[in-house]
Each structure stands twice: as C-alpha cells, then as structure tokens.
Structure 1
Amino acid sequence: MSEASQDIDRAPPGGGSKHVDSTTKLAVGAIGIVFGDIGTSPLYAFRETFTATDRFAIAIDRMHVLGVVSLIFWSMLLVVAIQYVTILMRADNKGQGGSLALVALLSRHMGKSNYGWLVVLLGVFATSLFYGDSMITPAISVLSAVEGLTVVDPGLQSYVIPIALILLVFLFLLQKRGTAKVGALFAPVMIIYFTTIALLGASQIWQNPDILWALNPYYAVMFFISDGFIAFLALGAVVLAVTGSEALYSDMGHFGRGPMRLSWFGFVMPCLLLNYFGQGAMIAGLPPEQAAEVVRNPFFLLASEEWRLPLVILATFATFIASQAVISGAFAITHQAIQLGFVPRLSIRHTSDTHSGQIYIPVVNWALMFAVIILVLTFQNSSNLASAYGIAVTGAVTIDTLLMGVLFVGVWKWKWWYAAPVVLLFLVIDGAYFAANLTKVPDGGWFPLVVGLIAFTLLTTWARGRKLMRERMTEVALPIEIFAKSANNSATRVPGTAIFMASSTAGVPSALLHNIKHNKVLHERVVILTVEIADIPYVDPAKRCEYSEIGDGFFRAVLHYGFMEETNVPEGLKSMQQCGGEFDMMQTSFFLSRQTLLPSDKPGMPIWREKIFAWMLRNAATAMEFFGLPTNRVVELGSQVRI
C-alpha cells in the first residue's frame, strides 16, 4: 500500500481536513490509473450486444433496448459495485488486492489444509487468464477508438489499422522510459473523458427519459423470457461493460480501499451509467431502419457532427491510458509471481527513484507487444476482437467468486448457511457470463484460453521444479556446524567478507563447498545469506534482518521481504551490523550457485515438464541482477542437480 493510503488507514474517524484532502487526492489519482479499462468499455459494449450475434440478431425496439440497458445496469451494480468494490475490497492482504494476494491471504489462514493446494491452483489460473486479458485490452481499446475515424469520414477506413499499430508500438516503446511524467496527465484526461461521456449520455436521456425504466430489473427478466437463448448469448457482450472489475481489486494497494470506493461510487459509475443509458435512449428514439445503422457505432454518434473528431481524439487518449494501466498491471503481477515462486527471476528495471512500484520488465513488455500486434493484424477490427475478449475476464471473476467462498468460511469465519446463498448468487451470475462467453470460443475466445493454459503450465512447472530442486539440494546438504569446524582447520583464512547466497536456511550452500574444494581458502568472515519472501506485501523494516552466529567466523543470516518489495541485498545488509560489524562492499565478495539439471532415474515430474523447467532455469536472470549485487564483487560457481 502507498504511504498515503497507509496514512488514511491510520487516521482517526473524522480526522480533519488533512485526511479528507489525502483521500480526495488519492481518489482523483485512481480515476486516472485504475478505471481506464472499465471506463473505455462504452466504446464497444452496448454496440456488441446488438451486432455480435449476426446469426441470432436482437430486434432493435423499445423492449429489447430497455432489456439490454437493464442488464448492463444490474451487471455493473452486482458484479462491480457489490462483489468487487463492496465485498472483495474488504479482503486485503495487508492492503494489497488481486488473485495472488488473495491466495497468499487464504494460504496463511488455512495453513496445511487439505484444500490449500486447490486454492493456490485456482489463484494461479486466475492470474494466468489475466495475461490473456492484458494482451486483448490494448488491442480492442485502441482499435475501437481509432475506428471512430470512420464515423467522421468513411474514407478513412484503410488508415485504422496502421494508426492503431503505430499508437500501440509507441505505447510499448514508452515503457522502458517509465510513465511518471506522462502519468501526471492521466487523471486530468480521464476526468475530462468521463465528464464528456456523461454529458453526452445525459443529453440523450433528457430527450428520451423513457430509457430510465431500464432501472427496473423487470425488463432484463422479460428480455430472457421473450428471447431465451438469444438473450443468453447477449450476456457474452453485456459482460464487456464490466471488464476491468478484477483490475479494480488488483490495484487497491496503490490507492487504498476508501479512495477507490469514493472514485467509483462518486464519479466513475454515474458517468458510465449515464453514457450507457444515453446510448440506449438514442437508439430507442430512432425509427427501426435508422436505429439499425446507428447501433453499429452509437458511442461516437452521441456527439454532433462537429464534435465527433475531438471525441475520437479524446477516446484515443483514454484507451491509451487504459492500455498503459493493463501493461503496468502485467508488470506488477509478474513481479508478485516471481517473489511468490511461480516465475523464474526476470530482469526488472525500476523507472522511478521515488515510487518503487513503477517497474519495467523487458521480456513481459516485448511478449505483450508481439501478441498485441498479431491480434490486431489477425482480427482486423474491434468487433472481431470482442469475441476473444470477455472469456478471460469472466473466468477470472468466476474463480474470484470461488475464492470468495473460501474467504467467507476460512478467514471471516461465516457460518456456511450465511456464506452459501451469497456465493451461490454470484456463482450463478458469473457462471452465466462465463458460459455465454464459452460459445465464442470458435470465433476467437480460444485465444485467451490458450494463453491462460500456457501461462498456467509455465507457472506451475516452475513452482514444482523449484520445490523438487530445493528438496534434492537439502537431501545432500552438510550440517553447517560440522562443516565450519572442519573447514576452519583445513583452509587458509584470508582478509575480507564472503557472502554465500543460499536458497535454504539449513545446510551448506553448494557454492561454499565448491569454493573450499577448488580454492582451499576461507574469508575471515563467512556469511550464509538467505532471502525469504513472506506471503504479505511488505515486511516491517525492523524485522528485515535475522541472524545467528555459528562460530569460527561463520554466520547465518536471513533477509525478509514482502512479495511487493524490491529484494536489494546490499541495501538490506546496511541495516545488519550484528554479523561481525558493518559490510564494506569493497571488501565483500558474493558467491552464487548456478545449477545445471541432469536427467534423473526417477524424475519428480513428467519429462516434458522437466525440459520446460530446465529451459526456464537457463533463461532466468542471474541472482546478481535480481538481488542488486555489485557486478565486480560476484563469483559464480556451478553445480549439478538431478530432479
């Protein structure tokens, strides 16, 4: 959680103007960064409900328009406002949200439960689906905005894809420079955007207030009664109005629960609803022939002809910001996965001197850019992409609902007869959306599922292989006390400090064994250092260091970090003076082990997964880079492991 949001949590009730000012400031910041994804959904969600099912066309008349708008309203109210903003935002792991943070929270409370592994797998799969979402969101958002040019001038159709690709490539190239300077513009632009779409919608509602009947769920129910299967298929497009809801939960740690709720209920939700109701009012007030033409792009046609080009430009800026938020989210969730042991070490660059959360991961950035370019060139327009969109979101939301049930019973200690009806209600709603999106698998919905399956395989393979490798290394490890006594009598001691990085807090690291075997020397001070990542976002700096003296100049030390923190070992060592005094980096050498996998007679996992794990191990970033070690003070020694 950011410092400001921590201040909010510590502030006393009614704590004066400073508390109010900081809450308002964070709420405004959240509008610029968090709500871009769900905020740009009006560009295509209402349109796709009527145009996506060509084989089962929805009649464009008053009853059907009221039915669709009613579905959008109640979906936004139940899924976003109640399930995520009201309920799940209470389930924070020391201020952090998102599937992985929720899994860490549940795992900590459930301990060694028989169902703990299933909770972890569900959370990992929800995270895997997010990667598919983070590829499709920039493509569909930017494409849908640039397609507004065809409303201004149909002759510009041939320029849509080239312009969209230029904008998207520029967006990914921008990542390595950081977004701090550009980010200052995010909130003002998004506030202007939300205000504009609200005013455009309100003007149409003023002309046709009959659309307000859609607030009554009767029209959503009648839509299903009259159209049956067609109404069910329409859910696959209606759910596009709530895409980005999972991102609200994931980004909670940046702004705090209170400011985000203030942003949502006080500004974003009213603006979105005004626009959706406005689109419905405009369509319902037109003759059937004209309505059929206007429904192909109702968002931009809300504006009068002279204001359509400025609206296209504003919407493009908004989709650019929404895409930036999703890309930053992919970086953040990858960082969490690395720290929690689901992803190998990757090169991570910090793009801000003041905000530790602003990071750039090159391999993730280029993978996303490649996927987005392929998506745009393959699907060609936002309507085709809408078939691929939604299934990843609804899958993640359904998994979050299941985890919410575990949260109710396992953490909040609700009685099952209280928890079951609530979970069942949301499972019916979220399950219906997911089932409706499954019908779009042949038309593009396969893409996020394939991406999710690949990501899930990689994440679980790395976690399993890493566990097996540590077990094998522990089996052959020597007790450090015995080793220290024998090594002290057989090796020459030299001045300085040697720090041997170890993955386990027991036994002798292989780098130390190889060093004494080949070099036959020991430094005056030998520190066996382990970095441990806790299942909480941040560790109290006062509890960062832990040490014990073994004797004969040997020490064992542990640095504790949260899964949201940067693991900078030299910085951590500055606060550890008990291990024989301060650490002078110019007199300190770091010894690292680099493992090579060998085939095992009895492999711990299928051979194809072992090969994937070996490939991931070879391509992982070095511990030197990941732990921020000085490049001229590191010695790497190889070892072989059979898993």
Structure 2
Amino acid sequence: MADPVHKKTEPNGRYLIALSVAALGVVFGDIGTSPLYAVREAFGEHYGLALTEANVLGVLSLIFWSLIVVISLKYLTLVMRADNHGEGGIMALTALVMPSKLRRGHWRYLAVMLGLFGASLLYGDGMITPAISVLSAVEGLEVAAPRLEPFVIPVTVGILLALFLFQSRGTQRVGGLFGPVTLVWFSAIALLGLAQIVRNPYVLTALNPYHAVHFFTANGATGFWVLGSVFLVVTGGEALYADMGHFGRTPIRLTWFFVVLPALLLNYFGQGALLLANPAAVENPFYLMVPGWATYPMIALATAATIIASQAVISGSFSLTRQAMRLGFLPRMTVVQTSSQEIGQVYIPTINWILMFATVGLVLGFRSSSRLAAAYGVGVTTDMVFTTLLFAVVAWSLWKWPRWAVVLLTLGLLGVDLSFWAANIVKVPQGGWFPLVVGAVMLVVMTTWHQGRALLSSVLQKDAFPLERFLETLAASKNPPVRVPGTAVYLTRNADVVPPALLSNLRYNRAVHENVIVVSVETEEIPRVLGSLRAEVRALDLGFTRVVLHYGFMEHPNVPVALYDITELDLDPDDTYFVLGREIVLPEGKLGMPRWREQLFAVLQRNALPATAFFDLPPAQTFEVGHLVRL
C-alpha cells in the first residue's frame, strides 16, 4: 500500500520552547540523574584508583569526551537520522531493518535478532534504572545525618512501591510538572558545580583530551576498567533516541546543547574541583558540594528528579511492549489508555507488576547504589553496540551510503562502544548478569512466540479453503445453508480464506448470516496509518465482504470503530455480531522447535489476552469458536 503515515513537522516558536521543556522531564531524566553516582563510582574502592590531580583530570576528560562522542555525535547527529516515519528506538529501528533488501536473508535475520535482543535488554534497564536512581537520591540522607542510614532502604522501597502503584492512574495530571521540575534540577546541579569551578578553575584543563590519553597510559589496565563507571554518564543515550517520536529531533537537540549538556558538564567538573580541594569528599562528591542548609531540599529535589527519570523508563517499557505486541513478538496483553489526549500514554498491568517486583527485589538484594552500578552498565552497553550495528545496516541497505563510509563510521563508533562494553563485561559476576539474564529470557519469549505463531499459521493454512472458491461452491450448492438475518463479522488472520469459525458454524448449525464480513488486521512496519488508508474493502458475492484493516505498530486496533467508519458497509451496531476463532494448542512435537519451547508457546497462547478484549469487541455481541490444533 502507499506510504500511509502521518508526516511529522518540526515545531517552531513557542511550541518549540514548550516541547523542549517537556522533553527535559521525559527524555533527559535518566542521563540527568547520573551525577548522583557516576564520579563517585569512578573512584570507588573496587578500582583502587589513587585520588591524584592527574587521575581526577583524566576521569573528567573521559566524561567530557564520552558525552561529546556518544551522545552529541553518535545519537543526536547520526542515529536520530534513522527514524521510522518519525519514531525512534531500537524496535522502530528493527522494523526498518525487517523489510530491508539485504542480499542474503540470513543477514537480515541476524539484524532482526540483534534488534530483538537489544529490545529485550531494555526490560532489564527498566528494572535497574528506578532502583539505582531513587536509591542514590535517598542515600543523601546518610550525608545529611548518618543516623538516618537505616531508613534509606525502607524509604526507597516505599517510594518505588508508590510509583508503580500509581501507574494505573497515568501521568496526565502531574506530567505537566515533569519538565519544570527537571529544569529546576538541571539549574540546581549547574549552580552547584559552577560554585566549585569558580574556586578552582584549573579543573577546566580537563577539556584537553591529553588528560584522557595520559590517564590510560599512566594507569594501564586499571584505567581501562574505570571506563565501566565513566559509562554511567551516558546511560540515558537510548532514551534520547526512543523518545524522538514524542518530541522530534529539534526539541531534543536544542534542549541537549543549551540546557542538559552545559548543566551536566558544570556539575561533573564541579565535583572534580571539589575532589582536588578535598579528596575525602570522594565518599559522596555530589551531596558534599551542597551547602549544609540546602542538603534536605536537595535530597527532595533529587528524589523528585529520579522519580521522573524512573517514570520515563517505566513508560518506555510499556511503549516497547505495545510495539512488540503489534509487530507479533509478544502475546496480546491488556493495554489501558491513561490519557484521552496522548495516544502514547498507556499502562500495561502485567509489565508493571513484573517491573515492580524486580525493582524492589534489586533494592533489597543489592542494598546500595554502588553495588547496583555493577548491574547497570552491561545491558546498556550491549544495547548501544546493537544500535550501532543496526544503524550501519540502515545506512548501507536503505540509504545506500558508500560502503567505505559505512565501514569507517561503524568501526569508529564500535571502537568506542566495544571499549565501554569490555570495561563493563567484567562486572558480570558482581551483578552484570542480571540484565543479561532478563534480556535472554525476553529474547526466548519473543522468538518463541513469533516462531510459534508463524508455524501455527502455516499449519492452519494447509487446511485453508480460498474464500472465493468457497462462495462458488456455496452458490452451486443444491442444499444451501439457511441465511440468518443480520451481519456477522468474522475476524481471521487471512481474509482471502474461509475463517475456521465460519466453517465450524456451517458444520454444526447449517446457517450463515445474510451479510458476512471477513476481516483481517495487518500491522504495518510504520508507526501510524492515515485514517483514509485504514481499510481495504472488497464486495464479494452472496452478501460477503472482505475487509483488511491496516494499523501502525504504535496504534491500538479498535476493530468495531474502524468498521463502523466504513460508509459502504452501513453497519447497524445493534445488529452486528462478531465471531472469532480461538486455537487451543496441543504440543505434539510437530513444530520443529525443542519440546520445552513448544510447551512455552502453548502456555503463552493460553494466557494471551483474548482477541475480544484486544480488538475492543463488544462482549455481548461476540462469539468465540474454539478448535484444537495439534502441533
């Protein structure tokens, strides 16, 4: 079909400013709260790094150039070019790769698998980010009053439980505060850092990349492993790309270069200036920059900022799940629209409870943000490597960039990504295993569901009867079935064949409605489809009509509304009935998958949200016809 997508236009004027402020709370929450722990972790006891002037300047130089190369160059300049009709994120990037004309099918398969594993790893990020962010903010209580240390874990758990329990209500009422609160946060951390830099401006010499190079040559292997903590300053890079569809490139780039990057650099360099003046401040350089009178207000502001950052990650997990469902990589789940204005604001109960138990479990298990930092980097670095590889596929196969340019650019970006990855992979025994296990489990679930549905469709297709041949047979029948008044809508995977539910109805009731509409729903590899291109309608003989509904992977398919909007059908909602089939899968080793995966697919199939709820069919006018499928 034609390019059926709403074109996005870049905002300007007051709207651009409003979007830029809103982007602060959603896009930059994760990367904006990294100053709470990144510098402290770089000088953690586990590295044994001496707190000398050269090492402080070296770490600051690494932080500066990491933000410039990874965020400013890779994501904001290059990767954000790879949008899927305005949408960003690794699932949108994977959807771009899926129809690409790679010369060999197995290369395309590998690219899609990289995208799926990258998406799977984001679930681990959705569990770790709220835990480490909120915990690092509440740990400020230890600085304000050491006697409050026993309350850090209970307060953190209480905040996280409240955050997840609040999800079902949506963020529409308080979402407008996210941007302004985060703007106050960035202003505050910038002023804190600036005050320290004014006292010791020599710290600005760390802008010279010489200090980064000297850091490696002077510290050898230890200097390389410190990259694992330096990486914490860029962990929010994927969020910038994923939220491009909500705000557009221009507001994100504008906010980064004029607000976020200056504030982060001022704060990081301010922490460095403090360490040069007082090495003992390494215990918690962020909070020890804060004047005593402002400690408690800063703890409150930091907690608010980390809650906002956590909310963005949780909402991202919901959005990722919906995309995966629509693209056929996850079974149907309940999706609740929490905003009447913003279609992207959804709540998925199953994912919310999984994230809640995992996040609280991480806090109770690791008990400090320093220990959690070991679990944080591994999954995100792996994700960034996959993003670089997928970007290379898009640049070569879709944009037709010269091969030499793609190779040189990819090698340069991979050199940075793999350095961070290697420095983080050694953390696997200390907690880095967690996001990898979560990613592996989600990858198995996604691939099992996708492959199982494809094999199930092929099995059903073998017994399928072409719809037009069926109508010819029906017209020539000497003993035609009884025609019942009203309209029956049969939902099926393929509108070109007779729905199994219709055949079952004929077999047992010997009756067919006067008007029969055979409907299939197709998910396009684009975010949204124009309403005018939503439906393909073809009138057939004997009162039959074939309808194909097209939806983007960011849209929710409301089948009744779509059908009622088709004027040529002229449907009466009170006289329209919906009939759909429900396959009951019985694994018998015929799918060609390992038996345990067949059992997993059967469990997923049984527990998937019924099509009645997923497609918003009216329960009182919907009938399900079950049939056993042996696989």
Tell me if TM exceeds 0.5.
Answer: yes
Secondary structure of the 2:166 match is helix
The residue aligned with 1:588 is 576
Query: 1:154-553 maps to which residues of 2 (within 5 A)?
Result: 154-286=146-278, 291=279, 293-487=280-474, 489=477, 490-553=480-543
> Partners in 1 of 2:548 and 2:611 — Cα distance?
16
- How far residue 515 of structure 1 moved from its aligned partner, in angstroms, is 1.3
Secondary structure of the 1:345 match is coil
- How far residue 603 of structure 1 moved from its aligned partner, in angstroms, is 2.7
Question: Does structure 2 retain, via aligned residues, the 8 Å contact 1:472–1:642?
Answer: no
> Partners in 2 of 1:607 and 1:508 — Cα distance?
31
Amino acid paired to 2:346: I
> Partners in 2 of 1:342 and 1:113 — Cα distance?
22
> Which of residues 102, 116, 132 is equivalent to 2:108?
116
The residue aligned with 1:567 is 557
> Partners in 1 of 2:507 and 2:170 — Cα distance?
46
Amino acid paired to 2:488: A
- Residues 64-86 of structure 1 show CA distances to partners (whole Å, capped at 9, x for unaligned) of 00000111111111111110011
- How far residue 602 of structure 1 moved from its aligned partner, in angstroms, is 3.2
The residue aligned with 2:28 is 35
> Partners in 2 of 1:613 and 1:602 — Cα distance?
13
Which runs of no fewer than 5 residues in structure 2 stay unpaired? 1-5
> Partners in 1 of 2:340 and 2:414 — Cα distance?
43
Q: TM-score, normalised by structure 2?
A: 0.97
**Paired residues, what number?**
622
> Partners in 1 of 2:388 and 2:113 — Cα distance?
14
Q: Indicate yes or no: 2:136 matched with 1:144.
A: yes
- Residues 524-560 of structure 1 show CA distances to partners (whole Å, capped at 9, x for unaligned) of 1101100000000011211100021221011110010
> Which of residues 75, 82, 92 is equivalent to 2:73?
82
> Which of residues 52, 58, 82 is equivalent to 1:61?
52
Secondary structure of the 1:390 match is helix
Q: Indicate yes or no: 2:599 matched with 1:611.
A: yes
Amino acid paired to 1:39: G
Question: Does structure 2 retain, via aligned residues, the 8 Å contact 1:546–1:558?
Answer: yes
- Residues 364-404 of structure 1 show CA distances to partners (whole Å, capped at 9, x for unaligned) of 00000010111011001111100100111101001111112
> Partners in 2 of 1:209 and 1:459 — Cα distance?
52
Secondary structure of the 1:413 match is coil
Question: Does structure 1 retain, via aligned residues, the 8 Å contact 2:523–2:550?
Answer: yes
Question: Does structure 2 retain, via aligned residues, the 8 Å contact 1:485–1:552?
Answer: no
Amino acid paired to 1:212: L
> Partners in 2 of 1:345 and 1:333 — Cα distance?
13
- Residues 113-143 of structure 1 show CA distances to partners (whole Å, capped at 9, x for unaligned) of 4211111101000000000011000000000
Distance change >3 Å, CA 601–CA 206, structure 1 → 2: closer
- How far residue 299 of structure 1 moved from its aligned partner, in angstroms, is 0.6
> Partners in 2 of 1:641 and 1:232 — Cα distance?
55
- Residues 178-228 of structure 1 show CA distances to partners (whole Å, capped at 9, x for unaligned) of 110111110110000000000100111111111111111111111100111
Q: Indicate yes or no: 2:625 matched with 1:634.
A: no
Identity of aligned pairs, percent? 49
Question: Does structure 1 retain, via aligned residues, the 8 Å contact 2:484–2:512?
Answer: yes
- How far residue 601 of structure 1 moved from its aligned partner, in angstroms, is 5.3
Farther-moved stretch of structure 1 (569-578 vs 266-275) = 569-578
Farther-moved stretch of structure 1 (117-126 vs 408-417) = 408-417
> Which of residues 92, 106, 113 is equivalent to 1:101?
92
Amino acid paired to 1:294: A
Indicate the RMSD between aligned Cα atoms, in angstroms. 1.3
> Partners in 2 of 1:185 and 1:145 — Cα distance?
19
Distance change >3 Å, CA 26–CA 6, structure 1 → 2: farther
Amino acid paired to 1:103: T
> Partners in 1 of 2:244 and 2:104 — Cα distance?
28
- How far residue 487 of structure 1 moved from its aligned partner, in angstroms, is 4.1
The residue aligned with 1:14 is none
> Partners in 2 of 1:268 and 1:616 — Cα distance?
43
Question: Does structure 1 retain, via aligned residues, the 8 Å contact 2:100–2:108?
Answer: no
Q: TM-score, normalised by structure 1?
A: 0.95
> Partners in 2 of 1:194 and 1:609 — Cα distance?
48
